[in-house]
Structure 1
Amino acid sequence: MIATIKNIKAAFYQDENSSLLQRIFWNSLYIAFFFLPIDINIPTPFISVAIVCGCINIFKSEKKYDSKNRVLLLFPLYFVILVVSIIYTQNTSDGWHLIQRSLTLLLFPIIFLFLKEDALSVRKLFNFLLYGLVISFFINLTIVIYDAFLIANSLPSNVSFWKSLAIGWKFFMHIQFSSLINPGYVSLYILLVLSYYLKNELNTIWRFLTVIILFAYLFLLASKAAYITLFCMSILLILKVADKSKKYLLILVLGLSTLIFISNPRIVNPINNFPDEVAEVNPTISWKERMLSWKAAIKTIEVAPLFGYGVGDAHDVLIEGYNDLGYTENYKHRYNAHNQFLETWLQTGLIGVFVLMVIFTNLALHTRRSFNEFSVFLALFLALIFESMLVRFNGIVFFSIVVPLLLKERTILSSRVIKN
């Protein structure tokens, strides 16, 4: 029992040379990252505590602003552009709600300019995200198994046991796996953790089982965007291998894995004939509907390319575009653009999307030095290509913490953490 308590304590930030504010800041972030894959609301108070401690630390810290990290000021600039766009938007209520959710884009990059960090403290951030993912996997697994049992148990008494079992299995293999958090966000968390975790040798049974759980989770989430990202990351890994025999083996494994992933019943034939009470909690968008979202967004942007429609009206105008173009399902579900660059262009026009592109251009240049660093960039960039990550709190918080850490001159998150 004492050993367990010591292990739990060691998992948190304990640098004796740091201030109490810094310790509270990092430990609050650790807890928040643990809950990110589990629930939308639980991380919020811990994020708030981290922000308060970080802001106080700015005024109490002896560390001066480092001009080498001035690229982090692009995030506050992006936030200011969002705020300015509220001037020419009519739906100010929705606009202010998005701005409130986006406050972390202003605060965390500034906090990181003055905050002390080291490789160990940031590595623990990923460790807590990993712990949360494992817990989240088993919670979702329990929920889906329980729902499958209810479906099988509700069948008429004259249905045989084996047929009931087959129907329950069909439900399990077709229904949406993640009912807690949108599958796209959880998939991104998994890809980034895998980028870090697979650098280490799988020399213990626990590491091996953890990687198996993460791949199983990614498979069951059935995110097409995540599958494409994983495929691209695998290609980069294969190109890096010099030994031809190992390279051919990896190509074979990639081919077989690709066949398994693309034959996922959740992608090939999603469920559509079960009661509403077990329908998707976080409805996933089909590939066709995603293409229509992009097409409608582009047509809508053409009307106001320079300044966009403001953070309040952008989504409403896009919904009207779906209706005008006859995209019934997109209009019914009120889908966003499902591409953050198009979403930003709709909201703030050319200047907003330009700042976002500059951020990721700098990130690409900053992470090009190693496969693991670049794979993290690739996962983040493709996530923004396939999802509007900066409209929900989970995506905004994750983006405003991880990307600034990647962009810092010392590259603590990337080379010194992933290569450890």
Structure 2
Amino acid sequence: MLTTDNIYRYSLLGVAFLLPSPFYGGVLFFLSIAGVCWITQKNHRQLPGSLYKNQVLLPALLYLYIVAGFFFSENFRVALSTLSTMLPFILFPVFIGTSPLINRKLLRKINISFLISITATLLFAVVYNIINIAATGISSVMLFDGYYHKLHSFGLTNIYYNWHPTYGAAFANLGIAILFHLYFTPKNSHTRSQKILMLCTALFLSTSIFLLDSLVGIGAYFILLLFLFIKQRKHRGYFNTTFKKILALSVLLIGIAILYINPFENAKIDSLKNKPILITDVQSERNLFTIRLAKWSVYYDIFTSEPFFGTTLGDIADIRKENYTKRGFDYLALHNYNAHNQYMEILAALGVVGLSVFLMLLFSPLGWSGVNALYFPFFIICLITFCTESVLHRQQGILFFMFFYSLYTHFNLRKNSS
């Protein structure tokens, strides 16, 4: 029988499936269905009692702070647009974070739905491009300011509209964490064929992260593997504190060595090594780090002009473009790029007050007794990705973050909950 409870559950499965795919715009459709079910189930009656929970209160406070900034913005049109863009800060914690229907069984299905989707999305891109190269004999495509191999970075994701390689790498990393969790959860028994399928999926997702060529995604991948490896061995009593420190240091040194030697001849790493560290956006002088330094230096200047409350999300785009022009960063001014750093983005637009609320939102679950196990790898992936991407200022990014944040911090899913 199709009840509102079942419709709600299917809607969340729909959100999880569409989120990592090129059809992520449909997430809001399924979320609206879940919202209607949430209201029909009269869950709004318990909402006042749920507001004291940090996983609901902190995102709500951040959104209310954004709303308050709307009244001080000079660019009314953009300010109004940001209110709708940032709605996930309030919608997901309310419709998911306060629902009594969220339980471990549903979470497992949601995780599997997400895992299938990101694997299928990347597999289709790889297979399509291999066939395309074989059929046309052309292995590269002209995008932006250069040529990309069709199995590499933007060349791989070019078959999808507005699908960024760094976000794909973040989704793949979470998929690997989900696979690890499913495989090693004691209650889950798997047949040999299921284990082989899970191993093949993990290897494919790992390969895809390198094909997507997101350095921050690759960095998050190695740190995530280290975390998952230590976590598993810790449960078996193999590691003491000293050994874990030695292992972490060894992985760090290996990572530095790989970056220095560059055995895979990664062009991004070559540009980091061969070009001097300058704050510039000039094409002949810049690389992915120096152009970010240019962005961050401008954002730092913006922050110092309004350190406590920020410029507001409505005005930050106009202000940064003006500052890019003043600093002589003509390329950045032409495209009016954001900070490509979530922390700098919030610091400039919402000030110290906004960043403080955001950091509490991120870190407070770590202090909760029995927080859901999947929050830790999710936290690692986001914490690292935020360093080079303004994730929450892209629709797919904020949907991804708030959906899984609301799930993994849900009170019903804590380890010590009945």
Letter in 2 for 1:28: S
Residues 347 and 64 (structure 1), Cα distance of their counterparts in 2 relative to 1, 3 Å cut: closer
Query: Does the CA-based 8 Å contact 1:222-1:266 persist in structure 2?
Result: no
Query: Does the CA-based 8 Å contact 1:229-1:379 persist in structure 2?
Result: yes
CA distance in 2 between counterparts of 1:89 and 1:154 reads 47
The aligned runs of 1:109-188 (5 Å cut-off) are 109-111=93-95, 112-145=97-130, 148-149=133-134, 152=137, 172-173=151-152, 176-179=155-158, 180=160, 181-188=163-170
Q: Which residue of 1 aligns with 2:60?
A: 76
Q: Deviations over 1:251-283 (max 9, x none)?
A: 69x95998498726463479xxxxxxxxxxxxx
CA distance in 2 between counterparts of 1:116 and 1:193 reads 23
- TM-score scaled to structure 2, two decimals? 0.76
Q: Which residue of 1 aligns with 2:279?
A: none
Residues 380 and 153 (structure 1), Cα distance of their counterparts in 2 relative to 1, 3 Å cut: closer
Q: Which residue of 2 aligns with 1:159?
A: none
Gaps of 5+ in 1: 1-15, 156-167, 271-284
Gaps of 5+ in 2: 141-146, 185-189, 272-286
Letter in 2 for 1:323: T
CA distance in 1 between counterparts of 2:33 and 2:364 reads 30
CA distance in 2 between counterparts of 1:205 and 1:239 reads 23
Q: Which residue of 2 aligns with 1:332?
A: 334
Residues 237 and 118 (structure 1), Cα distance of their counterparts in 2 relative to 1, 3 Å cut: closer
- TM-score scaled to structure 1, two decimals? 0.76
CA distance in 2 between counterparts of 1:416 and 1:349 reads 37
Q: Does 1:228 align with 2:212?
A: no
The aligned runs of 1:206-225 (5 Å cut-off) are 206-225=197-216
Structure 1 position 170, deviation (Å): 5.7
Structure ranking higher in helix proportion: 1
* Sequence identity (%): 20
Query: Does the CA-based 8 Å contact 2:79-2:314 persist in structure 1?
Result: yes
Query: Does the CA-based 8 Å contact 2:153-2:213 persist in structure 1?
Result: no
Letter in 2 for 1:357: L
Q: Which residue of 1 aligns with 2:12?
A: 29
Query: Does the CA-based 8 Å contact 2:154-2:165 persist in structure 1?
Result: no
Secondary structure of 1:387's partner? coil
Residues 193 and 23 (structure 1), Cα distance of their counterparts in 2 relative to 1, 3 Å cut: same
Residues 378 and 59 (structure 1), Cα distance of their counterparts in 2 relative to 1, 3 Å cut: closer
The aligned runs of 1:265-414 (5 Å cut-off) are 265=266, 267-268=268-269, 286-366=288-368, 373-412=375-414
Q: Cα RMSD over matched residues?
A: 3.7
Residues 103 and 151 (structure 1), Cα distance of their counterparts in 2 relative to 1, 3 Å cut: same
CA distance in 2 between counterparts of 1:154 and 1:120 reads 44
CA distance in 2 between counterparts of 1:65 and 1:338 reads 37
CA distance in 2 between counterparts of 1:171 and 1:383 reads 24
Residues 331 and 116 (structure 1), Cα distance of their counterparts in 2 relative to 1, 3 Å cut: same
Q: Does 1:57 align with 2:41?
A: yes
Query: Does the CA-based 8 Å contact 2:308-2:351 persist in structure 1?
Result: yes
Letter in 2 for 1:190: A
Equivalent of 1:86 in 70, 78, 83 = 70
Q: Which residue of 2 aligns with 1:5?
A: none
Letter in 1 for 2:295: S
Q: Which residue of 2 aligns with 1:38?
A: 21
CA distance in 2 between counterparts of 1:361 and 1:370 reads 14
Structure 1 position 82, deviation (Å): 0.8
CA distance in 2 between counterparts of 1:192 and 1:267 reads 24
Residues 218 and 101 (structure 1), Cα distance of their counterparts in 2 relative to 1, 3 Å cut: same
Q: Deviations over 1:211-231 (max 9, x none)?
A: 111111111111111122222
CA distance in 2 between counterparts of 1:170 and 1:62 reads 53
CA distance in 1 between counterparts of 2:350 and 2:148 reads 47
Structure 1 position 236, deviation (Å): 3.1
Q: Which residue of 2 aligns with 1:9?
A: none
CA distance in 1 between counterparts of 2:369 and 2:168 reads 23
Residues 256 and 398 (structure 1), Cα distance of their counterparts in 2 relative to 1, 3 Å cut: closer
Q: Answer with 332-341 or 402-411: which moved more.
A: 402-411
Residues 300 and 257 (structure 1), Cα distance of their counterparts in 2 relative to 1, 3 Å cut: closer
Where relative contact order (Cα < 8 A, 6+ residues apart) is larger, the structure is 1
